[in-house]
Amino acid sequence: MNPLCYVDLTVQTGGKGTGLPAPVLAGAALRVLHGAFKQYPGHYALALPGFETAPFAKLRIFATNRDDLDTLVEAISGHNLMKDYVQLGYPRKVSQDFDGAWLQYSRYRIPSRKSGRHVEDGLRQRRMDQADQRRLPYFILSSQSTGQQFGLYVAINPVAAPIEWRSGDVLPDSYGLSVSSRAFALPDLP
């Protein structure tokens, strides 16, 4: 995958229904996207533009080309959530001469209560405290295999611009995020 084009998904909190808050709707949208990302592994990367000013108002999906974005839209557009609560934007290209800031969106892991860790070591509490101090965004998701809810925390870190950002070596996980073994950054577009 190469972040050459993108589409914005804008969460509509005042639309049909009960007017659910943006974090709830963004989490539901990520669940739908996760299903599509699993169908097409490594094709899509997730960004949270403007998170500091308008948390969860927008999800940005990067892809290599317009065909990949069309495939994504086809995979998710039939879902009721996408029809009623999420507005799909028009696909856009990343400028050939982009020289702005770059951000890395990666999963911030917090051990579960049942992870087998000793309560005394305090790792879970330390990681939760650090996430709160850094004000990391998180999505409330449910595991299809266990049925349990969990928080998917996202660490957003500024990084230096990749030397060859058009090289195609971006391999996101099934949530569209960077992982330590396959770290990558995305352009921070307005």
Which letter, b or e, does each residue of 11-29 get, where b requires 16 or more Cβ atoms within 10 Å of its Cβ?
A: bbbeeeeeebebbbbbbbb
Distance spanning both ends of the chain, measured CA to CA: 21
How far from 188 is each of 48, 50, 101, 124, CA to CA, in Å? Answer: 9, 9, 5, 31
The residue-averaged pLDDT of 14-23 equals 66
At 2, which amino acid appears? N
pLDDT band at 122 (very low <50, low <70, confident <90, very high): confident
pLDDT band at 67 (very low <50, low <70, confident <90, very high): very high
Q: Where are the alpha helices (DSSP H) in 111-171?
A: 123-133
pLDDT band at 164 (very low <50, low <70, confident <90, very high): low
- Could you please state the CATH topology (level 3) that the domain comprising 5-103+150-187 is classified under: Alpha-Beta Plaits (3.30.70)
Of the listed ranges 41-50, 54-63, 119-128, 159-168, the least confidently predicted one is: 159-168
Question: Is residue 1 predicted with pLDDT exceeding 70?
Answer: yes
Question: Is residue 156 predicted with pLDDT exceeding 70?
Answer: yes
d(CA 1, CA 76): 19
The DSSP bridge partners found for residue 141 are 150
pLDDT of residue 138: 87
How far from 99 is each of 18, 92, 102, 138, CA to CA, in Å? Answer: 42, 17, 9, 29
Question: Is residue 106 predicted with pLDDT exceeding 60?
Answer: yes
Question: Is residue 130 predicted with pLDDT exceeding 90?
Answer: no
Residue ranges per structural domain of the chain: 5-103+150-187
**Angle, CA of 15, 34 and 123, to the nearest 5°:** 105
pLDDT band at 38 (very low <50, low <70, confident <90, very high): very high
At 137, which amino acid appears? P
